[in-house]
Amino acid sequence: EVQLLESGGHLVLPGESLRLSCAASGFPFSSYAMTWVRQAPGKGLEWVATIGGDGYTKYYTDSVKGRFTISRDNAKSTVSLQMSTLTADDTAIYFCAKERERGSTGDFFDYWGQGTQVTVSS
């Protein structure tokens, strides 16, 4: 059974940094790209970042480029999102998601975690 479990969400001050993690199990982790998607309170889904199975290919939405870094540890089956210079606009539930198609990067997602809440407020 595929499981994705996010952690690391917190209340932080504007300008601070935060690291989110997602622990994966139940599938050959290194064969699949992984993605972070966020959802601001009462809003829709927003793609944030994707990392290829090998960890080299990385894509980011424009609003987080230069501030967020996605990474993965295939030995531990974890994907992380290092977030810096956080603003109120980054307040959201952050979901970790697995791409459905083996070997592809930047597609659609068949499994999602339950999300972790990030709140940026003074």
- Residues at the site binding other proteins, with contacts judged by CB under 8 A: 35, 37, 44-47, 50, 59, 61-62, 95, 100, 104-110, 112-115
Residue closer to other proteins (CB basis): 61 or 84: 61
What is the nearest approach in angstroms of other proteins to the Cβ of residue 62?
7
Placement of tokens 């592809």 in the chain: 104
DSSP character string of 85-109: S--GGG-EEEEEEEESSTT-SS--E
Residue closer to other proteins (CB basis): 17 or 103: 103
Strand partners, 72: 79
Residue closer to other proteins (CB basis): 15 or 102: 102
Residue closer to other proteins (CB basis): 19 or 46: 46
Nearest Cα residue to 78 out of 19, 11, 16: 19
What is the nearest approach in angstroms of other proteins to the Cβ of residue 108?
4
CA distances 115 to 4, 92, 97, 110, 122, Å, are 9, 9, 10, 15, 23
Q: What does the radius of gyration of the chain's CA atoms come to, in whole angstroms?
A: 13
What is the nearest approach in angstroms of other proteins to the Cβ of residue 16?
26
What is the nearest approach in angstroms of other proteins to the Cβ of residue 67?
17
